[in-house]
A and B are shown apart, each in its own frame.
Chain A
Amino acid sequence: MSKIAGHPYIPNSVPEIKEQMLKEIGIDSVEDIFKEIPDHLRFKGQMNLPEPILSEYALRRHVEGILAKNKNCKDNISFLGGGTWQHYVPSVCDTIASRDEFLTAYVGDAYSDHGKFQALFESASMIGELVDMDVVNTPTYDWANAIAISCRMAARINGRKEILVPKSMSPGRLMVVNNYCKPEIRVIPVDYDVNTGLLNLADLRRKISSNTSAVYFENPSFLGVIETQVEEISKIAKENGALVIVGVDPSSLGVLEAPAKYGADIVCGELQPFGMHMQWGGGLSGFIATRDEKEFVAEYPSLLFGITTTTKEGEYGFGEVFYERTSYASREKGKDFIGTCTALYGIVAGVYLALMGPQGMQELGEGIMQRVQYAISKLSKIKGVKLAFDGYHFKEFVLNFDKTGKTVAEINAGLKALNIFGGKDLSKDFPELGQSALYCITEVHTQEDIDKLVEALETFC
């Protein structure tokens, strides 16, 4: 007797049903269907896979047993950031994310999936308010891809083939951008000031030219610094006919200015802070926003969900805006490519923003900045520990340990023994910063958590 007969996920695996269906088709065996595959192309034998764990309970025990080999950021105190951040996930976000309707829907039109269209329209609407833009796409894979797409959009808009990016950007994101811009767009790094972490304007002026399609910068930067020279950067870009692309961590936008207000033509960023668990980096979801001008809208590869009317007066309907631009409609003639990205995360981000409201976003931002300021004031007093960059920080900052005589790896190993995950080691990716680490503090950190870190570093350094 087959183990799989009557498998809970496969109703027609019951032999009697299968036989009846074969009979109704008028064939004796499934081989009468697979006969279309020539014998030499057939896989012979059985795949070498583990024996199935059929009981749900046993399966759960098995997987949980493997996962138990992990150590998580709930049971330990983590100060890791750099592209995935530990924020509180409201219960309502988890409830909506786990609704089977949203969780298991796919590409149905607005007549079967009206709610999906409205939810994503609303998410776009709220993100649009955060960044002060009228057009926001359905989510991309992540921030890195959002930057990359923004760069290609810019290049198509003005026909220029160079993008300037800060040397301080995340190495992971930069690798994605470099690959996506190939072969026609050159990605040129612009120096940052090693004392302030801000973009080096002299280097920007040196590198910008009539070939520059866009200047990309991040606020806050990967190294945690709030870029304050935003007017100057935008001015330099615009004087040279280049567009301005700003990448944001939108959890800062309750307290930091909307990028469109200081010159951004395209804004992109990461939605993971808005209700997504970190999931080992699997919680990422990017967005892109622009003005509502045809020359910009025409260059989005992403689906755009628009609001419209129906035959019932007063009812909202939804549909795909300017669909012809997409590769779904126009194959290789479409704008880049589009596929399954991170729609569910986009929906959850909308739930998060509606829960937070304007006041919640302000309090979130202010509370994070206060915790960071508190941490910096304590940590920078530790002998040998130095705040790498003066200036303003949102939720991340770089600590330099050169004068402690220890490496970040050594310090982090010590912290780990105390159930603390120290900051991301930057010494390999940013050798010019010496033994430095990127620390992240959010609203999940209590004074006690920060004090524990301070005490531990006082001991090690």
Chain B
Amino acid sequence: MGIVKIRSDFQQARWNEPIIYEMSTPGVRGIIPPEPETAIKAIAGDVVGKLPEIIRRKTAPYLPEVSQKHVLAHWLRLSQETMGSNIGNDISEGTCTMKYNPRVNEALVAEPNFAELHPFQDEDTVQGILEIYYKFEQFIKEISGLDKVTFQPGGGNHAVYTAASVVRAYWEAKGELDKRTEVITTIFSHPCDAATPATAGFKIITIYPDEKGIPDIEALKAAVSERTAAIFMTNPEDIGIYNPKVDEFVKIVHDVGGLCFYDQANANAFLGVARAKEAGFDMCHFNVHKTFGAPHGCSGPATGAFCCTEELAKYLPVPTVEFDGNKYYLDYNRPESFGKVRDFYGVAGVVLKAYAWTMNLGAEGLRACADISVINNNYMEKKVLAIPGITSAFQGNGITRQEQIRYSFEKLHADTGVGTDDVNARIVDYGIPSYWTSHHPWVIPEPMTLEPCETYSKDDIDEYAAVLAQISKEAYENPEIVKTAPHRSSSHRRNDEASLDDPEKWAVTWRAYVKKHLSKKKEMDSVS
């Protein structure tokens, strides 16, 4: 074990990289597409010239003209101005389970026998990937205790939307969709547990916590009725507290006929420890890109594994992957399926990586992820709560936290004026990625949510806590340095946050920026 050392002289790459359009010189090229053979050209003739005027492009698209070396260098520099979790001490992104993403799995997805598969190939030419899907489904069934799984959703939120679609199909089939109009969720469940059923047409009822930070069971009892279509809930919630009455919640909803969906985005601490089945849930999901070691890709591509009981399996999106004892196949013959949430079969690369990751760890390894995650978190809690100005949500309620904790800088803010956004900017100066504060609303003031999953060493945790201690010290002694941070990151602090909400000023493309800002500046320059 090393010595606790913080990176006090860290400097992130700061290339002052121009926008790619500013690097453009007419005639310069980055790559040359393969040219058709002479015979092809001779027979085809001027195909573009023959297109009707209305549909033929008259002017070439305004794209940058940059040499290959400069394209490569530009994006390499932009990558250096990004703190991936494989490089950084990414305990930061609590609720996101920033695991190590093994390189070997990247090598596997680059294999032509995977990368160059077309989704419409005959089943007998894709038996390998079908086998991976099928076997990984068996793993997920074992881990969840539920009966059937789809990997079609392209992320966690998408899996929760899939749950909302299944709930709708279920009530539609029963002829009660017009009555079952409400979905209940809890405020510390991810926003998608409210937003996706709302998108699917349900009215949302939100349960707030009791004084201990556990969703208020009395509020649930008051909320359920013959209008309840389902409950969508996380456990432990994003604040890191396990709800020990979760099965009672399920029973209360089941008693009025409602379905129960378990958002298992926070499943890492429960692999082999507790499952959706034992708590009585009808459905659950896993973020495969979190819990099963696949990378997050700056926010996707990703996979949500949606799981359900046999009773609900008939509503799953098509196709499912089946095995007849001899060969694997895609099953589209599912007349009660609600349809699809994504074209084809999901992000197969994430499923492949997760399969490899799970095969590398086995049951014992998965359980070790859970054990080490909660040990790491409780070790870290002790260190972090010893830092002046930091408290945690529902601190002192006597409940041992699981894999993550929502901390608060409320006291630091009151004492020094330094809030969580300031600390979050400053932490980057020490080579640590921005942390996850909290989804809105900030029920816990000035929040910070940390998750030291099994990837992180004792030294990582010690370093992280030492950096937080250092920033706290700075806040009490020299708050300006925190309030004006970052100083050593790839860019400085934004100085006009309001511009991002102002239709006259915002610009999400270069052409919009040129119109709104550069053209105006030119006009002003010429006037002056």
Q: Is the CB of A40 within 8 A of B192?
A: no
**Chain A residues closer than 8 Å to B109, beta-carbon distance:** 279
A51 interface neighbour in B116, B204, B362, B503, Cβ under 8 Å: B362
Residue ID in chain B nearest A333 by CB atoms = B198
Residues of B11-62 contacting chain A, CB below 8 A:
12, 16-17, 19-21, 28-37, 39-41, 43-45, 47-48, 50-52, 54-58, 60-62
Q: Is the CB of A70 within 8 A of B491?
A: no
Q: Does A262 contact B (CB under 8 A)?
A: yes
Q: Does A401 contact B (CB under 8 A)?
A: no
Q: Does A67 contact B (CB under 8 A)?
A: yes
Encoded as 1 (CB less than 8 Å from any A CB) or 0, chain B from 356 to 396 comes to 10111111111111011011101100100000000000000
Q: Is the CB of A46 within 8 A of B367?
A: yes
Q: Is the CB of A98 within 8 A of B106?
A: yes
Q: Does A405 contact B (CB under 8 A)?
A: no
Residues of A75-90 contacting chain B, CB below 8 A:
75-76, 78, 80, 82-84, 86, 88, 90
Residues of B108-134 contacting chain A, CB below 8 A:
108-122, 125-129, 131-132
Interchain CA distance A354-B368 in the complex, whole Å? 45
Q: Is the CB of A2 within 8 A of B364?
A: yes
Interchain CA distance A101-B72 in the complex, whole Å? 15
Q: Does B201 contact A (CB under 8 A)?
A: yes
Residue ID in chain A nearest B453 by CB atoms = A10
Q: Is the CB of A7 within 8 A of B375?
A: no
| A41-B247, A278-B117 known; A96+B360 contact, CB < 8 A | no
B372 interface neighbour in A13, A43, A373, Cβ under 8 Å: A13
Q: Does A226 contact B (CB under 8 A)?
A: yes
**Chain A residues closer than 8 Å to B425, beta-carbon distance:** 109, 111
Interchain CA distance A107-B296 in the complex, whole Å? 9
Q: Is the CB of B301 within 8 A of A182?
A: no
**Chain A residues closer than 8 Å to B458, beta-carbon distance:** 11-12, 17, 20-21
Q: Is the CB of B299 within 8 A of A343?
A: yes
**Chain A residues closer than 8 Å to B63, beta-carbon distance:** 126, 129-130, 353-354, 356-358, 361
| Shortest distance between the CB of A233 and any CB in chain B (Å) | 11
| Shortest distance between the CB of A100 and any CB in chain B (Å) | 4
Q: Is the CB of B508 within 8 A of A280?
A: no
Residue ID in chain A nearest B159 by CB atoms = A339
Q: Does A397 contact B (CB under 8 A)?
A: no
Interchain CA distance A328-B37 in the complex, whole Å? 52
**Chain A residues closer than 8 Å to B80, beta-carbon distance:** 101, 115
Q: Is the CB of A135 within 8 A of B365?
A: no
Interchain CA distance A234-B133 in the complex, whole Å? 43
| A21-B375, A36-B244, A106-B296 known; A114+B118 contact, CB < 8 A | no
Q: Is the CB of B87 within 8 A of A310?
A: no
Residue ID in chain B nearest A297 by CB atoms = B503
Q: Is the CB of B400 within 8 A of A106?
A: no
Stretch of A200-208, A236-244, A316-324 that contacts chain B:
A316-324
Residues of B493-528 contacting chain A, CB below 8 A:
493-497, 499-501, 503, 505-513, 515
Q: Is the CB of B112 within 8 A of A279?
A: no
Q: Is the CB of B195 within 8 A of A331?
A: yes
Q: Does A184 contact B (CB under 8 A)?
A: yes
Q: Does B329 contact A (CB under 8 A)?
A: no
**Chain A residues closer than 8 Å to B58, beta-carbon distance:** 257
Interchain CA distance A78-B455 in the complex, whole Å? 41
Q: Does A228 contact B (CB under 8 A)?
A: yes
Interchain CA distance A322-B262 in the complex, whole Å? 31
**Chain A residues closer than 8 Å to B43, beta-carbon distance:** 373-374, 377
Interface size class of A (residues with CB under 8 A): 35 or more
Encoded as 1 (CB less than 8 Å from any B CB) or 0, chain A from 406 to 449 comes to 00000010001000010010000000000000000001101100
Q: Is the CB of A63 within 8 A of B356?
A: yes
Q: Is the CB of B64 within 8 A of A357?
A: yes
| Shortest distance between the CB of A420 and any CB in chain B (Å) | 12
A282 interface neighbour in B77, B84, B301, Cβ under 8 Å: B301
Q: Is the CB of B85 within 8 A of A307?
A: no
Residue ID in chain B nearest A409 by CB atoms = B122
Interchain CA distance A109-B435 in the complex, whole Å? 8
**Chain B residues closer than 8 Å to A226, beta-carbon distance:** 51, 55
Residues of B297-323 contacting chain A, CB below 8 A:
297-302, 318
Q: Does A455 contact B (CB under 8 A)?
A: no
Residue ID in chain A nearest B30 by CB atoms = A355
B273 interface neighbour in A43, A114, A136, Cβ under 8 Å: A43
Q: Does B71 contact A (CB under 8 A)?
A: yes
| A9-B102, A262-B55, A308-B494 known; A373+B47 contact, CB < 8 A | yes
Q: Does A304 contact B (CB under 8 A)?
A: yes
Encoded as 1 (CB less than 8 Å from any A CB) or 0, chain B from 456 to 494 comes to 111000000000000000000000000011100111111
Q: Is the CB of B198 within 8 A of A332?
A: yes
Q: Does A389 contact B (CB under 8 A)?
A: no
| Shortest distance between the CB of B519 and any CB in chain A (Å) | 13
**Chain A residues closer than 8 Å to B492, beta-carbon distance:** 310-312, 315, 317
Q: Is the CB of B34 within 8 A of A443?
A: yes
9 tightest A-B contacts by CB?
A339-B157, A281-B344, A52-B362, A115-B81, A281-B119, A344-B297, A327-B195, A355-B30, A115-B78
Q: A25-B378, A52-B364, A317-B495 are in contact. List 11 more A-B contacts (CB 8 A).
A: A9-B102, A37-B274, A41-B246, A70-B113, A104-B84, A141-B155, A172-B340, A253-B61, A281-B344, A357-B64, A421-B122
A-B contact pairs, 15 of them (CB 8 A): A33-B374, A53-B360, A66-B128, A86-B118, A106-B96, A112-B88, A125-B509, A141-B342, A279-B349, A282-B349, A292-B503, A351-B71, A363-B33, A421-B122, A446-B34
